[in-house]
Chains A and B, each alone.
Chain A
């Protein structure tokens, strides 16, 4: 089974982000980057499928030079080879634009299965995987926690709202958007990193892929959330105060 995993490099979870002077992106200089979390689960799912059914795992990532780091990490964890779409203008491309780049690079590989993380930790659009499926003409399913290979194709477990799960079957080739938490992630090893040095990473530029870069969604600007403190002191006896607290938790905060 030939599996392609689309991964993205995003700012580290606890990075202190600042808005750049143009107001359309963050200052990247003092930020550390890491592999997007749900992409790590997509990779893990691919590696486990390969361990069970054999085949090849290829990772693909679009991004500037620094994105090579997450490709090497994925190779270290067990992916067989990588494709790096070198593009510095991802900020001005919308999800459709990125999906077009990915689709153009994936098409000639003729994969059996394409996995993507459910959504990125930076933009959180949750669209790239789904659009990619449309561009490739593959059936797709998202919010996937578990994948089984059957005689006819795949049987997948989807996570729905309020603790519900859905089990569906779909034929191959297919695109799945993987939800975080379905598997136990493997840790990176020294041996993996050393072996990864000998693995192939093919570089492709956006120009070579010839994908249409004109966006349909234009980013107007980004901003940091405003901090606000709204502490309330609930007056009265402990009994009255706790009754008022329950009231507020139930109807204002809606957590009960």
Chain B
């Protein structure tokens, strides 16, 4: 039986000719690497500087780097098996840094690791363990790509990936095989040369293929803007978003060249999954194609040859692409940036979009209704007016103030707040937070709305806001910061979860505990955007047993309304809301619990379309209200 030796074989006494050939090959390999890599680096460095970029505080960056790069946390967590295989390849590469240096030094007779010494022996065996794991890992990945073939990796087989897998496999096998020969055996020298040639062939392949991510993605992750779906401020009078190549910033360019084409973004994209033109991966690769052809200083429009306008306006900004991306690409700011470029310059022409913009230029709400409708609702519902003495300002939002279903949620939430004895009031005047125009890229209207609302809140001395709409919460808390200091705000799920011990004191009528199966749908703007997953579930569980949809929590699938798309009319292909409603109904749940009035409105029709026996749809506030003790004065939720 063939057993490995205790030490790694290291061939000795290279001839001058060998040394010269090796040197020439190293120079050629590095030159071939640099020819492409230098060009890429040049495009990245010549891109516009990121306005407002700050390296500090650096702690967040170091932590992200440690978690995402060194620990491969996202790579593994979102796709455990291939993720782990990838992680072993990565860790082996790290371990091999020293091995490779020593290997090359050996060729010039300058090896610094003594294979028989204490450290040398320890390290060569450590590297061997990684090499074994890496060889198994890369073989597994090869099988997945070429035999299992998940559709997210694309229709065409990638010869590049096959070649890379082969090179890595050969590197590992030649390393391990050196444990089975002696220093002086000719086989040791042959293995050394095969290993060297593979190494030198590998280097130039990196920048010419998607394996460029080996070099770039650690930087991409370290330098990312941070914050989820963070839309950068516009800088100066000539910045209208991503209009042309000259608007692509260094970070965006770095991200486009870092894409590893793994397709995780497409796998989770609601648009890609329902037959739309948009595929987030193609947007990133499109920008890369643009940079390759036109370069970073170009005046040529970004939307055109490489990026389709139609695709850009199909994004729901659900953020699942960005959440999934293992190399730190921030898709949502890129897509919103492209929309800003098209809308801020007037290039986007869309009947529905134009109507929404005009409604918000002049009016107060995205639904285009008169503000008097909101006043009537407040009067009819006898909602208290905020006068500065109450604890909470209850933000109605467009849906809560004008939409019949949204009003039902507000009415029920107001009942719960009254029951809990929490003082609250609503503002006499309130405008849309600007969420749909912000995501559609209309900075002018967004700024007007944000400033006007901030002024109203300040005049009314509002300290704390609670809202039923995750979009309002996100926009007020994060996006308004560009124009002032918004008051503290929370989503009603957080409020309700905090008071859970006082709720659910009586059985929920119409919902029978024990028999009721409830599936909770995570809204994108509450889950991925705000990291709130457990609170709404705890409220929903008041009325029955929770079941989970196949896609839930941070992998939840969008309802189709976000990014202003709720206002853009009929979609192409399958409706996102129908795809999600079918998934929710298929859990066998009797009730779908929602926590966002936009999800609610999307599912209302979509659930009905799933056929007879469709589950009922309730907001968590409605579930909480139904558990209030009977005999409470209940105002009817009149619909207008």
State the A residues within 8 Å of B (CB). 12-14, 16, 34-35, 184-194
State the B residues within 8 Å of A (CB). 234, 237, 240, 343-346, 351, 353-354, 357-358, 361-364, 370-372, 375, 442-445
With contacts A188-B444, A192-B346 known, is A14 near B354, CB below 8 A? no
Cβ of A184 and Cβ of B444 under 8 Å apart? no
Cβ of B443 and Cβ of A184 under 8 Å apart? no
| Cα distance A189–B345 in the bound complex, in angstroms | 6
Look across to chain A and name the residue whose beta carbon is closest to the beta carbon of B238. Answer: A194
User: What's the nearest-Cβ distance from chain A to residue B582, in Å?
Assistant: 36
Chain A residues whose CB sits within 8 angstroms of the CB of B240 once the complex forms: 190-191
Cβ of B354 and Cβ of A13 under 8 Å apart? no
Cβ of A187 and Cβ of B346 under 8 Å apart? yes
In the complex, besides A34-B362, A192-B346, 18 extra interface pairs with C-beta distance below 8 angstroms are A13-B362, A13-B370, A14-B370, A14-B371, A16-B375, A35-B362, A184-B351, A186-B346, A187-B346, A187-B358, A187-B442, A188-B444, A189-B345, A190-B234, A190-B240, A191-B344, A191-B346, A194-B237
Cβ of A187 and Cβ of B371 under 8 Å apart? no
Nearest 3 pairs of A and B residues by beta carbon: A187-B357, A14-B370, A14-B371
A interface secondary structure, majority: loop
| Cα distance A230–B408 in the bound complex, in angstroms | 28
Look across to chain A and name the residue whose beta carbon is closest to the beta carbon of B359. Answer: A187
Cβ of A187 and Cβ of B362 under 8 Å apart? no
With contacts A14-B363, A34-B362, A190-B443 known, is A184 near B354, CB below 8 A? yes
Look across to chain A and name the residue whose beta carbon is closest to the beta carbon of B444. Answer: A190
Cβ of A189 and Cβ of B343 under 8 Å apart? yes
| Cα distance A191–B353 in the bound complex, in angstroms | 17
Cβ of B372 and Cβ of A14 under 8 Å apart? yes
| Cα distance A111–B240 in the bound complex, in angstroms | 34
User: What's the nearest-Cβ distance from chain B to residue A116, in Å?
Assistant: 20
The 14 sampled A-B contact pairs (Cβ below 8 Å) are: A12-B362, A13-B362, A14-B364, A14-B372, A34-B362, A184-B351, A184-B354, A186-B346, A186-B354, A187-B343, A187-B442, A187-B445, A189-B343, A189-B444
Chain B residues whose CB sits within 8 angstroms of the CB of A185 once the complex forms: 354, 358
Cβ of B444 and Cβ of A193 under 8 Å apart? yes
| Cα distance A16–B443 in the bound complex, in angstroms | 28
Select A189's contact among B346, B358, B362, B372, beta carbons within 8 Å: B346
Chain A residues whose CB sits within 8 angstroms of the CB of B375 once the complex forms: 16
Chain B residues whose CB sits within 8 angstroms of the CB of A34 once the complex forms: 362
With contacts A14-B363, A14-B364, A14-B371 known, is A190 near B358, CB below 8 A? no
Chain A residues whose CB sits within 8 angstroms of the CB of B357 once the complex forms: 187-188
Of listed A34, A186, A189, residue having the most chain B CB within 10 A:
A189
| Cα distance A184–B353 in the bound complex, in angstroms | 12
Chain A residues whose CB sits within 8 angstroms of the CB of B234 once the complex forms: 190
User: What's the nearest-Cβ distance from chain B to residue A14, in Å?
Assistant: 4
| Cα distance A221–B364 in the bound complex, in angstroms | 30
Chain A residues whose CB sits within 8 angstroms of the CB of B237 once the complex forms: 194
Cβ of B351 and Cβ of A191 under 8 Å apart? no
Of listed A35, A189, A190, A192, residue having the most chain B CB within 10 A:
A190
Chain B residues whose CB sits within 8 angstroms of the CB of A192 once the complex forms: 346, 444
Cβ of A188 and Cβ of B361 under 8 Å apart? yes
| Cα distance A112–B503 in the bound complex, in angstroms | 72
| Cα distance A184–B355 in the bound complex, in angstroms | 9
Chain B residues whose CB sits within 8 angstroms of the CB of A194 once the complex forms: 237
| Cα distance A14–B362 in the bound complex, in angstroms | 10
Chain A residues whose CB sits within 8 angstroms of the CB of B343 once the complex forms: 187, 189
Look across to chain B and name the residue whose beta carbon is closest to the beta carbon of A185. Answer: B358
Look across to chain B and name the residue whose beta carbon is closest to the beta carbon of A187. Answer: B357
| Cα distance A50–B443 in the bound complex, in angstroms | 26
| Cα distance A34–B351 in the bound complex, in angstroms | 22
| Cα distance A12–B361 in the bound complex, in angstroms | 11
Cβ of B345 and Cβ of A187 under 8 Å apart? no
Cβ of A187 and Cβ of B364 under 8 Å apart? no
| Cα distance A201–B244 in the bound complex, in angstroms | 31
Cβ of B354 and Cβ of A187 under 8 Å apart? yes
| Cα distance A96–B93 in the bound complex, in angstroms | 86
Cβ of A188 and Cβ of B363 under 8 Å apart? no
User: What's the nearest-Cβ distance from chain A to residue B366, in Å?
Assistant: 14
User: What's the nearest-Cβ distance from chain B to residue A241, in Å?
Assistant: 22
Cβ of B354 and Cβ of A191 under 8 Å apart? no
User: What's the nearest-Cβ distance from chain A to residue B384, in Å?
Assistant: 19
Cβ of B363 and Cβ of A187 under 8 Å apart? no
Look across to chain A and name the residue whose beta carbon is closest to the beta carbon of B362. Answer: A34
Chain B residues whose CB sits within 8 angstroms of the CB of A193 once the complex forms: 444
| Cα distance A14–B364 in the bound complex, in angstroms | 9
Look across to chain B and name the residue whose beta carbon is closest to the beta carbon of A34. Answer: B362
Of listed B344, B353, B444, residue having the most chain A CB within 10 A:
B444
| Cα distance A16–B374 in the bound complex, in angstroms | 12
| Cα distance A8–B629 in the bound complex, in angstroms | 56
Cβ of A190 and Cβ of B344 under 8 Å apart? yes
Select A13's contact among B345, B363, B445, beta carbons within 8 Å: B363
| Cα distance A172–B421 in the bound complex, in angstroms | 71
Cβ of B370 and Cβ of A187 under 8 Å apart? no
| Cα distance A13–B345 in the bound complex, in angstroms | 27
| Cα distance A187–B371 in the bound complex, in angstroms | 21
Look across to chain B and name the residue whose beta carbon is closest to the beta carbon of A37. Answer: B362
Chain A residues whose CB sits within 8 angstroms of the CB of B361 once the complex forms: 187-188
Chain B residues whose CB sits within 8 angstroms of the CB of A189 once the complex forms: 343-346, 442, 444
| Cα distance A189–B441 in the bound complex, in angstroms | 10
User: What's the nearest-Cβ distance from chain B to residue A187, in Å?
Assistant: 4
Chain B residues whose CB sits within 8 angstroms of the CB of A35 once the complex forms: 362
User: What's the nearest-Cβ distance from chain B to residue A173, in Å?
Assistant: 30
User: What's the nearest-Cβ distance from chain B to residue A219, in Å?
Assistant: 26
User: What's the nearest-Cβ distance from chain A to residue B555, in Å?
Assistant: 35
Chain A residues whose CB sits within 8 angstroms of the CB of B371 once the complex forms: 14
Chain A residues whose CB sits within 8 angstroms of the CB of B445 once the complex forms: 187-188
Chain A residues whose CB sits within 8 angstroms of the CB of B358 once the complex forms: 185, 187
| Cα distance A35–B362 in the bound complex, in angstroms | 9
| Cα distance A239–B618 in the bound complex, in angstroms | 37
User: What's the nearest-Cβ distance from chain A to residue B396, in Å?
Assistant: 15
| Cα distance A34–B371 in the bound complex, in angstroms | 15
| Cα distance A184–B444 in the bound complex, in angstroms | 20
| Cα distance A35–B361 in the bound complex, in angstroms | 10
Chain B residues whose CB sits within 8 angstroms of the CB of A190 once the complex forms: 234, 240, 344, 442-444
User: What's the nearest-Cβ distance from chain B to residue A30, in Å?
Assistant: 10
Of listed A35, A184, A187, A193, residue having the most chain B CB within 10 A:
A187
User: What's the nearest-Cβ distance from chain A to residue B453, in Å?
Assistant: 14
User: What's the nearest-Cβ distance from chain B to residue A2, in Å?
Assistant: 23
Chain A residues whose CB sits within 8 angstroms of the CB of B353 once the complex forms: 187
User: What's the nearest-Cβ distance from chain A to residue B28, in Å?
Assistant: 50
Look across to chain A and name the residue whose beta carbon is closest to the beta carbon of B356. Answer: A187
| Cα distance A12–B429 in the bound complex, in angstroms | 14
Look across to chain A and name the residue whose beta carbon is closest to the beta carbon of B344. Answer: A190
User: What's the nearest-Cβ distance from chain A to residue B210, in Å?
Assistant: 36
